[in-house]
Amino acid sequence: MPDRPANPDYAKSVREAVLAMPAAQLFGFDFTRIEPGITELTLPYRDALSFRPGFFQGAIIGSLADFAGASSAGTLLPPGWFVSTVDYDVRIIAPAQGDRLIARGRVVKPGATLSFAQADVFVVRAGRETQCAMAFVTTRNFEVKPGA
């Protein structure tokens, strides 16, 4: 990882870009950590996110993992650059029954065109974290030119 991010305002840029997305708003994602190459997103439980009472639905887990992995890649980009997921693979390894989810994303290999990240997802129940999923996320880096 670089010692210094290419964008000195990376945390603000990533937070604003992600939390402006309708899906992030709909699900209720929030950041608890943003550092160069690393992010942490949380999601409190609510019935609308479950497949049965008390359990998070798999698509919600996958979405949170995708956002965590992709946003970690976004922390390393220059100002005016963004990421878009081109592929992600999620493995659910335990039931996600609990009060909230935490997804910790980290960049595995940054690149000029493609970046690769990993996300580990944990469910919190009675204050205890249990890993419930892992994901590998590939992103495409692109520049948004003013007026485009």
One pLDDT digit (tens) per residue for the chain, 148 residues: 665 788 999 999 999 999 999 999 999 999 999 999 999 999 999 999 998 999 999 999 999 999 999 999 999 999 999 999 999 999 999 999 999 999 999 999 999 999 999 999 999 999 999 999 999 999 999 998 877 6
Domains of the chain with CATH codes = 10-143 (3.10.129.10)
User: Which element (helix H / strand E) includes 22?
Assistant: helix 22-27
For β-strands 38-44 and 81-92, DSSP reports them as unpaired
End-to-end CA distance of the chain: 30
Neighbours of 33 (CB within 10 A): 15
pTM: 0.94
Q: pLDDT at position 1, please?
A: 61
